[in-house]
Structure 1
């Protein structure tokens, strides 16, 4: 065992390096986790597959020779990196996420895009950037109030080892096993998992039992290779102590706020009972008292998943939480296909108390889909209306909600690798994932942002208790619950059936006579009965309602709800205005003062009478042709509540080429005098006409604007060019924008 108890109450952990030297770390001996439950209950997580999110630095794309963004296999590097995440932090904050979960960061055996095949656990994978890039991204996230969770692996590394023994890789139970060797002598695990004087054989470091034949048998699940990946001998004191040293290093070096831990059930329980307290103690001693660790136990059994939490089952405190797979396996039935009853949700909740450590019971990480599961909208019968309802449930129910990137843009990829689409305008995408997908006015983005705004305003949605008020046992239908915190209540009801249903009177802690308002439609106000109970509530099919006391109601932050051109539009006319529609009347000066375009363009502002719609018209020739235009608004304030935008808004679109008028539209060319020539042409309203010239008729020669542009009238217009502007060897045309 790697731990020795001393009378002083300290535990000494010896970490053996690749040499014969050793060093020791003193930690506090404790079976209890000091994390504040409320801190993480108040968070919501946004999961990112780093390689597929955004390419912020093209120079590192092929750093490991695995860059092939157009490969149909979906298994190569596409270019997303740490700088890309940093450049999109405002998008993430606008969504309302308070934490991001990023892919494993360590260098992989063959430059894998996903990060789950580590070979050098102390080195950042070069295709994601540098250590400094990672540190800077985390600092930028923290500056925006966003926590950063790293996905980590202790169960296995990349596939560098195999055996030439007969029968490999058929599972062999210990003490039997295979002789191990490297596939390629030039590709080996880096220290501390290299062979050395302390570990002369690969079997000192890795299990040699072959593959997993049966996932229902715990022994091969823990000792066998998962998908051929080299399985660490995690019962070894050397492996345990060095796994603690590795992940303590990353906490101390880059400042992670938590770990999502891969393949938890493939590692023996004793590892977690020894490793987790060491990491918790190190984090707490280094300014991270709320460091949060949740595991992936890919299993529908509450008893299995719960066994890895806290002191459940006895022994030292293990993990703070796990991904809520038992709930996930109900969600598709209740929401995506809407074929199952809603009682199964409450049945699942009723199983939590007996199977999970008390500290984990309200902090299970809930989700609709992820990188290992088909996207919600790929499930047969799923619609965006059903997704919106599932999102309402995700963000108002108990647990820590986790959203998989792209779900807020209605991605519908099926199984791995098709559920790992490019979020940026890449080459591995289809349907709703085509193009650039950082669209802040997308309907599902707006749904998530609004739900997170509710969570910011109403604490019961974060840390309140769950009290069931109704479920439908026979099939799709109503599900109702209250989230309560002290005297506050948020009452939620939704209907998974296709037709309207009415919830009968339900008991409540709202005082008799209290007016309660529907957050999703503030014009709907009900009155609590004398009993006290909520009055009957009719809910249309595939919709939901969220009620709070009228006295608790608070206004939402202003957001942009519509824009023209559309996000990621192409061939936008260069003189077309940018039109932004806000959710509320705005302080026009605050909007105009913060409005910026890249590249910078001067222009004029006009507003609708309601002050909720702004039009920016570029001056002169307008935006440059064939250029990506970015428009941003920051810190704008609404005039009703005085609320400021929670995060900057951004719009991107591309201008088109200059459009030339057909020659037949030029009606006359006349010499007015020795100094001026006039060109007449028919015109269209809302078009601008510009004289252009170039030196040759060669198609490679660029047309250049000159003279003054003229707005179309719907009739004949005249453009004038002076002798000074004309050259002897130049060619001319009229262009239309």
Structure 2
């Protein structure tokens, strides 16, 4: 790769605006030194999340790189040059970087699954943690149960929460079928999957015939998970229609979550984890692949148990991979989950800030916020994000849509999108590495670069945003412009509680100028704020109602102007502003 010898970066004062008042507008200082509420009493709305894949973050203990001893299902898979394999990151590594996270304003850490996995399967290596065989202990690649407790204690001592990523839909691929596997577990000749057997076919001739090879008959824990009666056994899903609920997810053993024994068993599994480790909440994987009655039983039981264990603000959010607020909100209302990951937000922000879609897409999203509100949850509890380990990174989306754009523009688009995430409704989630300008080459393993020095060639040739560094380097640079921007945004959000709790109402949508403005209001969390974004690469000026003349500039590069009784808002290219009403 040809390395840039210099990068002309816009100064932070231009990118970020002012922490208090700026010349040219009425002055209104942002309050400082607002104390962060203790983690046990802190509402989820007050948090700023960091989503981290432990294996790709930092190797704090090289002695656990190979996982369990030779012969264990959880041994092996360590190969730092392969993007599919384990790279050595662990609990000790996260603990050693808590200063870095705290400096960015992070108040909650969400880790990909850390329970013990089947390390190597036919289709890959479990660096991600989603192939669980033992729901009672941490995967040895990441350390021990004691290491996890030490990390949680260390985070809590800094007033930082820790969230577990949990799975109820499936386990690792252990169950085989006579109809499509040989006795040794390999596929029959000419097959590479097990064709799904529909519910109608099951009613007529039963499920596929399950079996487990002798060496894996008792690998799962708790013991009841080794019983094939507790699985659907209908073959592989194509993610269409009914088989999205009943089929094996990429060959993973699909648990029969309609069975009452499974419901109670899964509730017990996660109650026990709460009792032992005292996490602050759960992110739930593959929620839409499990039927609603399970969530209606699971979520209230888990929340009640957490409260009993002295975690009154325990929070749950589910992964429903769908951008439709109507589809997402079904799980927070009828499904009784407190919140979900806001894929609708990600979709709208991605298209507006990364590929020039009309700003009305943002307004259309916000118009549907009331769908999430019921007696025990609302839209401010959703987790908002710009990219993740499955779909890819903001840097990749920008490079894909605007490959010829100047480097400075790409950097500023990333910062602007993060500003929108921090200053709109919902709880912001930063995907690890985005704060260091990581770009990636796509989704899945192509978006899972190492923060520690990388040995993966396809990672190391990437052109990162805002830096001359590559992933060959150790990427914990607290002076990186995106890191500094996020740190500033987190501080502003903390100082202005209306940005955490306030309702969001669209004020102006100008698709021709790519200007979107809104107001955040709350009856109990401070005075209203007016927020404006310019998603275009040109300076824009828009007229405002005369009532906006007395607004006081708080933050950002936008400015108010009044001449001959006409109030105008001036926004430099790819900029924003926050004003007190």
Under a length normalisation based on structure 2, what TM-score does the superposition of the two structures give?
0.80
Partner of 2:141: 127
Partner of 1:9: none
SS in 2 for 1:403: strand
Confirm whether residue 406 of structure 1 aligns to residue 433 of structure 2. Answer: yes
SS in 2 for 1:423: coil
Give the one of 510, 519, 541 matched to 1:482. 519
Of structures 1 and 2, the larger Rg is shown by: 1
Report Cα offsets for 1:140-182 as digits up to 9, x if no partner.
1011111111000000000111112158611112333101112
Confirm whether residue 225 of structure 1 aligns to residue 255 of structure 2. Answer: no
1:300–1:329 CA contact under 8 A, matched in 2: yes
Report Cα offsets for 1:348-404 as digits up to 9, x if no partner.
111231355461322111100011112111122451111111011000001111110
SS in 1 for 2:445: coil
Partner of 2:102: 93
1:66–1:76 CA contact under 8 A, matched in 2: no
Confirm whether residue 103 of structure 1 aligns to residue 112 of structure 2. Answer: yes
Confirm whether residue 236 of structure 1 aligns to residue 275 of structure 2. Answer: no
SS in 2 for 1:467: strand
2:366–2:504 CA contact under 8 A, matched in 1: no
SS in 1 for 2:251: coil
Confirm whether residue 544 of structure 1 aligns to residue 576 of structure 2. Answer: yes
Partner of 1:387: 414
Confirm whether residue 350 of structure 1 aligns to residue 359 of structure 2. Answer: no
Partner of 2:443: 415
Q: CA deviation at 1:482?
A: 1.7
**Structure 1 or 2: larger strand share?**
1
Report Cα offsets for 1:4-28 as digits up to 9, x if no partner.
xxxxxxxxxxxxxxxxxxxxxxxxx
Partner of 1:377: 395
Counterpart CA distance in 1 for 2:344 and 2:559 is 36
**1:318-333 alignment runs, 5 A limit:** 318-333=336-351
**1:204-603 alignment runs, 5 A limit:** 204-215=229-240, 217=241, 219-309=242-332, 312-313=333-334, 318-338=336-356, 340-354=357-371, 357=374, 359-379=377-397, 380-382=400-402, 383-413=410-440, 414-428=442-456, 429-430=459-460, 431=462, 432=464, 433-474=471-512, 477-486=514-523, 488-506=527-545, 513=550, 516-520=552-556, 526=560, 535-548=567-580
Confirm whether residue 66 of structure 1 aligns to residue 98 of structure 2. Answer: no
Higher RCO structure, 1 or 2 (CA under 8 Å, sep 6+): 2
Partner of 1:169: 194
Sort the Cα spacing of 1:526 and 1:214 in 2 relative to 1 into closer, same or farther, 3 A: closer
Partner of 2:215: 185
SS in 1 for 2:489: helix
Q: Which stretches in structure 2 are left out of the alignment for 5+ residues?
A: 1-38, 69-74, 121-125, 181-190, 403-409, 465-470
Report Cα offsets for 1:246-305 as digits up to 9, x if no partner.
111111111100100000000111111111111011001111111100000001222221
Partner of 1:654: none
Partner of 1:705: none
Counterpart CA distance in 1 for 2:452 and 2:221 is 36
Q: CA deviation at 1:484?
A: 2.1
Report Cα offsets for 1:559-589 as digits up to 9, x if no partner.
xxxxxxxxxxxxxxxxxxxxxxxxxxxxxxx
Q: CA deviation at 1:105?
A: 1.6
Counterpart CA distance in 1 for 2:282 and 2:563 is 47
SS in 1 for 2:78: coil
Counterpart CA distance in 2 for 1:302 and 1:273 is 19
SS in 1 for 2:81: coil
1:46–1:403 CA contact under 8 A, matched in 2: yes
Sort the Cα spacing of 1:290 and 1:396 in 2 relative to 1 into closer, same or farther, 3 A: same
Q: Which stretches in structure 1 are left out of the alignment for 5+ residues?
A: 1-34, 550-737
Q: CA deviation at 1:238?
A: 1.5
Report Cα offsets for 1:532-582 as digits up to 9, x if no partner.
xx9311111111122237xxxxxxxxxxxxxxxxxxxxxxxxxxxxxxxxx
The alignment of Structure 1 onto Structure 2 pairs a total of residues equal to 493
2:245–2:291 CA contact under 8 A, matched in 1: yes
2:529–2:578 CA contact under 8 A, matched in 1: yes
Q: CA deviation at 1:187?
A: 5.9
Counterpart CA distance in 1 for 2:133 and 2:196 is 24
1:284–1:291 CA contact under 8 A, matched in 2: yes
1:188–1:194 CA contact under 8 A, matched in 2: no
Counterpart CA distance in 2 for 1:371 and 1:245 is 29
Counterpart CA distance in 2 for 1:233 and 1:182 is 17
Partner of 1:616: none
Q: CA deviation at 1:527?
A: 7.6
Partner of 1:587: none
Sort the Cα spacing of 1:190 and 1:444 in 2 relative to 1 into closer, same or farther, 3 A: same
Sort the Cα spacing of 1:400 and 1:37 in 2 relative to 1 into closer, same or farther, 3 A: farther
Counterpart CA distance in 1 for 2:331 and 2:559 is 45
Q: CA deviation at 1:518?
A: 4.0
1:155–1:267 CA contact under 8 A, matched in 2: yes
Partner of 2:169: 155
Counterpart CA distance in 1 for 2:312 and 2:271 is 14
Partner of 2:185: none
Q: CA deviation at 1:427?
A: 1.5
1:503–1:538 CA contact under 8 A, matched in 2: yes
**Structure 1 or 2: larger helix share?**
2
Confirm whether residue 55 of structure 1 aligns to residue 55 of structure 2. Answer: no
1:182–1:188 CA contact under 8 A, matched in 2: no
SS in 1 for 2:304: helix
Counterpart CA distance in 2 for 1:397 and 1:67 is 41
Partner of 1:137: 151
SS in 1 for 2:135: strand
Sort the Cα spacing of 1:187 and 1:528 in 2 relative to 1 into closer, same or farther, 3 A: farther
Report Cα offsets for 1:458-510 as digits up to 9, x if no partner.
11111122121111245x610111222346122211111111111211476x7
2:560–2:570 CA contact under 8 A, matched in 1: no
